[in-house]
């Protein structure tokens, strides 16, 4: 596979990673973005930024509409590309 003009290799070691995480990372390799980065996400979810570890805030930056099209697709709360509510809490 190629992404950004470089070869991309996927090695999945199932002994130390959950299946959902493996599918999520393969999604990135295929060019998928995090669901919660959708430009229209505020119509579907409420992010409490103060609860997110500041180091990880870029994971929640909205992608501009000209870069990603949702083509009328509804927000997929159960997507493997969506973090769960406890994923990046600032603890």
User: Is 24 a known ligand-binding residue?
Assistant: yes
User: Is 86 a known ligand-binding residue?
Assistant: no
Catalytic residue among 25, 69, 85, 91: 25
57 Cβ contact partners less than 8 Å away, ≥ 6 residues apart:
49
Report the alpha-carbon distance of residue 49 to residue 40 in Å, rounded: 17
- The H or E element that residue 19 is part of is helix 19-29
- Whether 69 sits among the annotated catalytic residues: the reply is no
User: Is 33 a known ligand-binding residue?
Assistant: no
Residue positions forming the annotated binding site for Zn(2+) = 24, 28, 34
Residues forming the active site? 25
């Amino acid at each position: 596979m190629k992404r950004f003009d470089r070869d991309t290799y996927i090695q999945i070691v199932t002994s130390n990673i959950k299946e959902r995480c493996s599918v999520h990372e393969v999604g990135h390799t295929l060019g998928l973005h995090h669901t919660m980065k959708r430009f229209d996400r505020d119509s579907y979810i409420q992010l409490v930024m103060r609860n997110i570890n500041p180091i990880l805030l870029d994971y929640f930056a909205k992608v501009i509409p000209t870069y990603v099209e949702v083509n009328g697709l509804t927000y997929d709360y159960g997507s493997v590309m969506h973090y769960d509510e406890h994923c990046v809490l600032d603890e």
